Chains A and B, each alone.
Chain A
Amino acid sequence: MCATAVPVIATLGLPAAIGARVSSDWGGTVLPAGSRTDSAPEVLLIGDVDDDALVHCVRPETIAVLQWDEEVPPEGGRGPTPTSGVAGFRVSVLTETVFEKPVASMIRHGLQARIELDDDRAYDLETAVHEALVNGALHGNLGFGSVAEQDQEALAWLHERLTELLADGAGKRKRIEVDILIDGGTVSVTVSDAGQGFDVQATLERLRAKPADASQPAGRGLLIMNSMADDLSFRKGGRLVAIRFGS
């Protein structure tokens, strides 16, 4: 990677001291909170932000939106590498944020700030990305097995266990990382989790074999993702899902 200008970093909902520390660790320039300058922030470090601020935080110049956490610093604590020539941005959040914040909605708004995307397609993308985030958080980072064999009570069980796991489980400190790449009229989104992966083949077979409606809880998220996206594939043993929109 050739030497590029140090990224301009802005913090959102974080103490000023964190911005100063990150700027010295990562070698970037940190904008003072709430500053209005000509240097548009390329990297946003996110702390405690309300939904509306989060949803509208991605600008055309943003290359990364990273949730700050002391124990699990984003990007392995090294700071993001600006990738010149690639249009897109990266999002990195903790597991619990997937359930608590409209992350996929932020990604949709971020895309619509850059490219023309009609509303229907934009919502298809948000829906598919949301399902991928929830899958990665639930089955990846939190290690829930498939609930294929269970009935409606699965939802109740899942919710109870989720509350427990988010309270003190190790999974809550894992990250979900999303890369959004724009290439002409094609948008490719990859969602990666830090879990154990899953049996991709068996899951896809079950998806194909299941009845034509969504009355079974198994694979409903996958069914939605598959219907919304132009292409859906899994890599890294199921730890990465790639969703493509456009040809």
Chain B
Amino acid sequence: MTMQVEQKEAEGGFELILSGRFTFTDYPAFRRLVSDILERPVSGYVIDLEKVEFIDSAGLGMLLLARDEADRKGRSVELRGPQGQVKRVLNVARFGTLFTIRG
């Protein structure tokens, strides 16, 4: 019941493409990913949520953690493409005030 991850180099940055369910159990894997990305010489990265089917409060916590870690190193994190349940949960938690979220 864990999420799947694809990593992609993109023009001027880096993309983390998540899919599946993004919940509490994904914490260790996600934490590692976030640390690894910040080792790269990029100014920021995008977390693509389009294929994420379900996110819970712990998943939200992990997105905030990614943002805070990036902030500490002077990098940026953007969210992209939340759909359905994920979009609804991000709205409820007012993530639009905490992140740049692109369609």
Q: For residue A131, which residues in chain B have a CB less than 8 angstroms away from its CB?
A: 56-57
Q: A105, A159, A228: which contacts B92 (Cβ < 8 A)?
A: A228
Q: A124, A213, A217, A228: which contacts B61 (Cβ < 8 A)?
A: A217
Q: A51-B1, A159-B28, A215-B64 are in contact. List 16 more A-B contacts (CB 8 A).
A: A101-B1, A102-B21, A119-B84, A123-B84, A131-B57, A152-B68, A159-B24, A162-B24, A213-B98, A214-B60, A214-B64, A214-B93, A220-B57, A220-B61, A223-B92, A224-B89
Most buried by B among A119, A134, A212, A220: A220
User: Does A126 reach chain B (CB closer than 8 Å)?
Assistant: yes
Tell me the A residues contacting B by CB distance below 8 Å: 51, 99-102, 105, 119-120, 123-124, 126-127, 130-131, 134, 152, 155-156, 159, 162, 212-215, 217, 220-221, 223-224, 227-228
- Could you tell me the distance in whole angstroms from the C-beta of A74 to the nearest C-beta in chain B? 22
CA distance A223 to B61 in the complex (A): 13
Interface residues of B in 34-69 (CB under 8 A from A): 54, 56-58, 60-62, 64-65, 68
Quick check: B97 and A155 within 8 Å, CB to CB? no
Q: B21, B27, B93: which contacts A224 (Cβ < 8 A)?
A: B93
Q: B interface, by DSSP: helix, strand, loop or mixed?
A: helix
Q: A interface, by DSSP: helix, strand, loop or mixed?
A: helix
Given A126-B85, A155-B62, verify A223-B24 contact (CB < 8 Å). Answer: no
Quick check: B60 and A220 within 8 Å, CB to CB? yes
- Could you tell me the distance in whole angstroms from the C-beta of A172 to the nearest C-beta in chain B? 15
Given A131-B57, A155-B61, verify A215-B98 contact (CB < 8 Å). Answer: yes
Quick check: B88 and A213 within 8 Å, CB to CB? no
User: Does B25 reach chain A (CB closer than 8 Å)?
Assistant: yes
